[in-house]
Amino acid sequence: PQELCPRPQFIVDGATRTDICQGALGDCWLLAAIASLTLNETLLHRVVPHGQSFQQGYAGIFHFQIWQFGEWLDVVVDDFLPTKDGKLLFVHSAEGSEFWSALLEKAYAKVNGCYEALSGGSTSEGFEDFTGGVTEWFDLRRPPADLYQIILKALERGSLLGCSIDITSAFDMEAVTFKKLVKGHAYSVTGARQVQYRGQALELIRMRNPWGEVEWTGAWSDGSAEWHAVEPALRQQLMVKMEDGEFWMSFRDFLREFTRLEICNLTPDALQSRKFRKWNTQLYDGTWRRGSTAGGCRNYPATFWINPQFKIQLEEVDDDRDEDGGREPGCSFLLALMQKHRRRERRYGKDMETIGFAVYEVTWGHWASAGYVGRSGVHLKREFFLANASRARSEQFINLREVSTRFRLPPGEYIVVPSTFEPNKEGDFVLRVFSEKRAGTEEMDDKIQATLPDEKVLSESEIDENFKQLFKQLAGPHRVLPEHGQPHGRILCPWGVGGLGGHPGAPPSLTLPQKDGNGKLGLVEFNILWNRIRNYLSIFRKFDLDKSGS
């Protein structure tokens, strides 16, 4: 920064939305999240800690705090920033001497592997990584009747809001409409206000384009004629006259022009609720592995059951007085499934998997009497899922980092099955469970064990003649096999004899059965090892459901 301006500043007069102007990187989704962050000073100072400066105590490094999959990371970066022709290449402040936003972008790039990994994304990712909150989505083509009240309440509570216009093809990406809205581009929602216009209450909404320019030119835009009908003091307070990317529009136009709204709640309180609630939260780490725990969605009944399973015990119903009343008693909870580290793995050709989840009830009928209820560590088998439909599920399977859905179900015991859409798609994930009232949760899995047959040690006279011939062929004239290295250059079995015995990585049960300590295998010892390997191979084949050998 000292090479770009004589007196660089970290933050000048507090962080504002005009400190964030997009550069050459396609990370408008992240910058929209940062712009929303400036509206909540408490959140901002959690992510951008106080007391950092280019003057007092300057050491060439700055630190930021970013939430990742259940924990806050302290991310330290130096102040070298990418430039071109003497100007910052990526995010920059409008007036050029303020650098907190550029350094925050660098810290976020470090967490995700590189700047390139930040190209393209959903504003909800940035929202959650700056708050640890949970995001809910609204389809503006089918909005709830009270959406404007939901937005007002979200802004009051310090929730972060973003919106965008869906594209129908790659040619639409960042195409500018007739009234200067940008398709496939992330905007932040920064305000909402009702005004009296021609004797009627009119709902307005304020947004910001992270480019810092290119603004809506329709009704209620900067300098539009509609403002002349508003009371002068209010007009002076609300009207934005400069080209800074921020603008007002009517809520009716907002619903017509935009297609998606994201609201990141700092706690998952229902925005429609009139009362603040303290939610109970649980977080579980999980893994999908090919041939083991990556069973795909319900469309694949042969393997769906092998997915990880989590139990939720809903015990206490909601307080009816918190809501409008008139509903059946139920327990509110919210599930959020997030896949891990996918941006960081882009360099290896990976991207977001298509993910979702299903919820099954196990407290009724045959499955209750069969002993499934109240038991810990029981992984439900294929038969259960063939006989039962899901009680609830995520609204869709989608290739976003997180899928979240709010539910209200009767008290009981439920199993949550998170999965990728197709089987054998590998990845790590975090499942977050937010319950309004007390709820028990745990991961469901069978105890990992195998029953081995008793090991019978045969004398040389009891060993089959065909086996003796095999041993003689492999051992050669010395009639012993070396404990290390391959027998006469041959592979004996799928794993090979060589290297098992005494190797630090070998399973204890496959350590070669040495008796006299001479480092070699005789006929009896080789027979013991051979039988052990055959037993383990049969166990492996039993659990290798897709016959992949992995």
CA-closest candidate to residue 376, choices 459, 311, 471, 332: 311
Inter-residue contact 163 to 207 (CB < 8 Å): yes
Inter-residue contact 529 to 497 (CB < 8 Å): yes
DSSP 74-113: EEEEES---EETTEESS-B-SSSSB-HHHHHHHHHHHHTS
Task: Give φ, ψ of 322 to 5 degrees.
Answer: -70, -20
CA 525 to chain centre: 51
State the catalytic residues: 28, 185, 209
CA atoms of 245 and 347, how far apart (whole Å): 33
CA atoms of 35 and 211, how far apart (whole Å): 11
Task: Give φ, ψ of 19 to 5 degrees.
Answer: -75, -5
SS3 223: coil
SS3 sequence of 253-303: HHHHHCCEEEEEECCCCCCCCCCCCCCEEEEEEEEECCCCCCCCCCCCCCC
CA atoms of 239 and 193, how far apart (whole Å): 12
Query: 79: which residues sit within 8 A by CB, 6+ positions away?
Result: 1, 54, 60, 61, 62, 99, 103
Q: Are strands 260-265 and 160-164 parallel, antiparallel or unpaired?
A: antiparallel
CA atoms of 46 and 43, how far apart (whole Å): 5
CA-closest candidate to residue 532, choices 457, 448, 449: 457
Amino acid at site 294: A
Task: Give φ, ψ of 478 to 5 degrees.
Answer: -80, -10
Task: Give φ, ψ of 189 to 5 degrees.
Answer: -90, 120
